[in-house]
C-alpha cells in the first residue's frame, strides 16, 4: 500500500503543461519579437510587449494562446511595413487585432497591408478567428487606399470592427469603401470620424451601409454632413433594423424640419436603436423639443446626447431620461450575467 501512495504523490507533483506550452507559443512569440526588434522606433513598444508575453509563457503564467494586439503609434516607413507584413507577421498564427495609429501609411502602404491581410490564413486550431479588429486612424488614407480596403472587405468574413478616423477619405473615398462594405456581412462597428465627408458621402453611407450591411455601431462624428446628410442617414435607419448606436456629433446639423422629423421617426420606430449622439451640434430650440418628445415616446432609446448650449430645461430632461434608462439597462445586463 505505501508504494502506491508514493506513486500518487509523484503524479500529483508532475508539472502541468499549459495550452501555450503545448502549442510551443514561445517559438512564435520569439520569432515575431526578433523580427520586430530590427524595425523602426515606432515598433519598439510592441517588441517589448512581446518579450514580456514570452516570459509569461515560459513561466506558465500565460496558460492560453497570446492575445497581444499589434499596436504601433507613429509614422511607419514603407520599408518597415513591407518587412512587417512579409517577414514578421506572415508566419505568426495568433494575430487578431491590428492597431496602426497615426502611422501615415498612405495609399501605397494600405495596398501593402491589404495584400498581407488577404493572404493571412492562420490554422484554425491556433486562431479560428482571424483578424477581427482593424484600426487605422491618421494613416493618410485617400480614395485609392479606400478602394484597396473595400476590395479586401468585400469578401472578408472576420473583421468586425473598422476604425478609419482622421483620414482624408472625403466623399470619393467613402464611395469606394461603401462599394466593398455593401456586401460585407461580418463588420458590425464602423468609425469614420473627421474624414472630410459631406452630405454626398453621407448619402452613400446611408444607402449602402446603414440599409444594406450588418453595421450596428456607426460614428460619423466631425464630418460636415449637415441637415441633408443627417436626414438621409435617419431615413436609412428607419429602413434598417440593425443600427443600435449612431454618433452624429459635430456634423453641422442645425435642426432642419425634415431632418428632425426623420430622426424623430427613427427614434420612435426603430426598436434596435439605443444611442443617438448629437453633441456639438447647434440645434434650434424647437428641434430639441421635438427630440425630447421622441425620446419620451421611445421605450428603447437609452441615450440621447445634445449640446450643453441647449435650453437648460430641455437639456436637463434629456440628460435625466438618458441617465435613468442607461442605469436601468446596466442593471438588466447584470441580472442576465448572474
Q: Look at 333 and 51; give whichever has higher pLDDT.
A: 51
Q: Look at 133 and 11; give whichever has higher pLDDT.
A: 133
Q: To the nearest 10°, report the CA torsion of 184, 185, 189, 190.
A: 10
Per DSSP, the three-state class of 92 is coil
Q: Looking at domain 141-332, which CATH architecture does it have?
A: Alpha-Beta Horseshoe (3.80)
Q: What is the pLDDT of residues 206-215, one digit of tens each?
A: 999 999 999 9
Of 166, 164, 131, the residue nearest 148 (C-alpha): 164
Q: What is the pLDDT of residues 225-240, one digit of tens each?
A: 999 999 999 999 999 8
Residue 246 contacts residue 237 (beta carbons within 8 Å): yes
DSSP label at residue 73: E
What is the model's pTM?
0.91
2 pLDDT higher than 60: no
Q: Going by DSSP bridges, is the β-strand pair 275-277/189-191 parallel, antiparallel, or unpaired?
A: unpaired
9 pLDDT higher than 60: no
What does the alpha-carbon distance between residue 81 and residue 66 come to, in Å, rounded to a whole number?
22
Q: Which three cell numbers stand for residue 206?
A: 446611408
The CA-based angle 320-321-327, given to 5 degrees, is: 90
For the residues 81-100, what does the mean pLDDT come to? 97
Q: Which three cell numbers stand for residue 44?
A: 519598439
**How do the domains of the chain map onto residue ranges?**
141-332
What does the alpha-carbon distance between residue 218 and residue 162 come to, in Å, rounded to a whole number?
10
In the beta sheet, which residues pair with residue 73? 101
Phi, psi of 249 (to 5 degrees): -70, 145
pLDDT at 337: 55
Identify the band that residue 241 occupies on the pLDDT scale cut at 50, 70 and 90: confident
Q: What is the pLDDT of residues 279-312, one digit of tens each?
A: 999 999 999 999 999 999 999 999 999 999 999 9
Amino acid at each position: 500500500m505505501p508504494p502506491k501512495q508514493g506513486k500518487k504523490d509523484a503524479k500529483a507533483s508532475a508539472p502541468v503543461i499549459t495550452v501555450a506550452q503545448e502549442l510551443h507559443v514561445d517559438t512564435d512569440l520569439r520569432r515575431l519579437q526578433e523580427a520586430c526588434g530590427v524595425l523602426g522606433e515606432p515598433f519598439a513598444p510592441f517588441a517589448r510587449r512581446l518579450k514580456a508575453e514570452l516570459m509569461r509563457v515560459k513561466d506558465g503564467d500565460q496558460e492560453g494562446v497570446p492575445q497581444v494586439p499589434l499596436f504601433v503609434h507613429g509614422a511607419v516607413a514603407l520599408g518597415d511595413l513591407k518587412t512587417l507584413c512579409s517577414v514578421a507577421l506572415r508566419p505568426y498564427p495568433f494575430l487578431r487585432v491590428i492597431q496602426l495609429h497615426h502611422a501615415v501609411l498612405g495609399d501605397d502602404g494600405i495596398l501593402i497591408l491589404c495584400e498581407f491581410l488577404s493572404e493571412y490564413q492562420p490554422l484554425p486550431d491556433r486562431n479560428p478567428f482571424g483578424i477581427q479588429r482593424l484600426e487605422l486612424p491618421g494613416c493618410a488614407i485617400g480614395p485609392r487606399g479606400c478602394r484597396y480596403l473595400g476590395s479586401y472587405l468585400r469578401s472578408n468574413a472576420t473583421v468586425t470592427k473598422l476604425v478609419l478616423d482622421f483620414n482624408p477619405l472625403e466623399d470619393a473615398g467613402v464611395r469606394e469603401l461603401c462599394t466593398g462594405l455593401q456586401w460585407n456581412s461580418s463588420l458590425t462597428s464602423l468609425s469614420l470620424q473627421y474624414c472630410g465627408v459631406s452630405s454626398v458621402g453621407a448619402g452613400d453611407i446611408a444607402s449602402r451601409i446603414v440599409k444594406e450591411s450588418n453595421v450596428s455601431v456607426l460614428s460619423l462624428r466631425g464630418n460636415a454632413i449637415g441637415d441633408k446628410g443627417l436626414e438621409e442617414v435617419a431615413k436609412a435607419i428607419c429602413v434598417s433594423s440593425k443600427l443600435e448606436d449612431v454618433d452624429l456629433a459635430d456634423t453641422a446639423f442645425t435642426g432642419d424640419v425634415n431632418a428632425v422629423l426623420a430622426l424623430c421617426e427613427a427614434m420612435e420606430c426603430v426598436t434596435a436603436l439605443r444611442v443617438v449622439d448629437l453633441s456639438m451640434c447647434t440645434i434650434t430650440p424647437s428641434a430639441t423639443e421635438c427630440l425630447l418628445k421622441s425620446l419620451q415616446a421611445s421605450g428603447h432609446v437609452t441615450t440621447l446626447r445634445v449640446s450643453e448650449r441647449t435650453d437648460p430645461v430641455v437639456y436637463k430632461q434629456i440628460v435625466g431620461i438618458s441617465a435613468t434608462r442607461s442605469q436601468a439597462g446596466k442593471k438588466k445586463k447584470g441580472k442576465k450575467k448572474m
